[in-house]
Amino acid sequence: MKTIALYSIKGGVGKTASAVNMAYLASLQGEPSLLCDLDSQGASSYYFRISASRKYNSEKFLKGKSRMYEHIKATDFDNLDILPSDFSYRNLDIELSEAKKPQKKLRKNLEALAEDYRHVFFDCPPNLTLLSESVFAASDLILVPLIPTTLSIRTYAQLLDFFNEHDLDRSRIRAFFTMVEKRKSMHAEIIEEHQNTAGFLRQQIPNSAEVEKMGIYRAPLNAVRPASAAAKAYRLLWDEITATDPGR
């Protein structure tokens, strides 16, 4: 089982759209994939038209095993399941702070799923919190979407500093540019400055109204508009990830 987090300290950078589309692309390979919606806003869950049951909450998520697994739901797509978010997830950091070894909680809770899924994706909330640290410990690969702006680059640097300060493995981090508008000089300049930097993927996701319309389609863009420029970009990004991390 390979665990992949879509993570950024900064919000509004395309984490959810990337998580939804890459989980779908992974499922097309014929191997079961699971998307864990960890954001209390539940955007990934919304895109798949799925809600958590009334009996599910953050407490059951943290207890793991059957109390969590029985709330995994099938999507409309073969080989793709989702563990939907619940609004109670807004309290996850408080509850994690009261748990033993909170940084290892997520990985431990997912161990029993290894025989059921080839890929597990985490759609993470923004910020750098105790839940983030649990995600870092549970992830084989951490994908960081970046809008080519100074603030996004700054938060990426903050993430790298955090990994250095806590002696975490930075080699698991891969950044890629999203919502790219090449006509903007700042975007072009930042991409040119970083495109050959270690840890940066080359494929970029363009700014696209089609991505925004995922909230209308309520499905992965690659499922409903596979010929769109953004869908093609996500497919090439997934190809690059699998080619550069074949063992992950």
Taken as a whole, the chain contains a residue count of: 248
pLDDT in tens, 136-179: 999 999 999 999 999 999 999 999 999 999 999 999 999 999 99
Residue 99 pLDDT:
84
Query: Is residue 201's pLDDT more than 60?
Result: yes
What's the pLDDT score for residue 245?
Answer: 67
Least confident of 29-43, 99-113, 145-159, 221-235: 99-113
> pLDDT tens for residues 209-220?
999 999 999 999
Task: Assess whether pLDDT exceeds 60 at residue 1.
Answer: yes
The predicted pLDDT at position 63 comes to 84
Please give the Cα distance from 1 to 19 (Å, whole number).
Answer: 17
Other Cβ atoms less than 10 A from the Cβ of 53: the count is 12
At 248, is the pLDDT very low, low, confident or very high (cuts 50, 70, 90)? Answer: very low
Distance (Å, rounded) from C-alpha 74 to C-alpha 128? 30
CATH architecture of 2-243: 3-Layer(aba) Sandwich (3.40)
pLDDT above 50 (res 108): yes
Q: Which of 246, 153, 164 is nearest to 200 (CA)?
A: 153
What's the burial of 159, exposed, middle or buried (CB within 10 Å: 0-12/13-18/19+)?
A: buried
Query: Which pTM does this prediction carry?
Result: 0.94
Residue 202 CA to residue 230 CA, distance in Å, equals: 15
Average pLDDT over the chain, rounded to an integer: 93
In sequence order, the 6+-apart residues with CB closer than 8 A to the CB of 60 are 67, 68, 71
Residue 102 pLDDT: 86
pLDDT of residue 164: 97
Cβ contact 100:63 at 8 Å: no
Average pLDDT on 7-33 reads: 96
pLDDT at 114: 85
pLDDT in the model for residue 35: 97
Q: What's the pLDDT tens digit per position in 46-95?
A: 999 999 988 888 988 888 877 888 899 999 999 999 999 999 999 999 99
222/77 Cα distance (integer angstroms): 12
Exposed/middle/buried for residue 151 (C-beta within 10 Å: 0-12, 13-18, 19+) = exposed
Evaluate if residue 130 carries a pLDDT over 80. Answer: yes
Q: Which residues of 197-219 are buried (b: 16+ CB within 10 A; e: fewer)?
A: eeebbebbbbbbebbeebeeeeb
Helices marked H in the chain: 15-27, 43-47, 58-63, 65-69, 92-97, 105-110, 130-138, 150-165, 185-194, 209-212, 214-217, 221-224, 229-244
pLDDT the model gives residue 69: 85
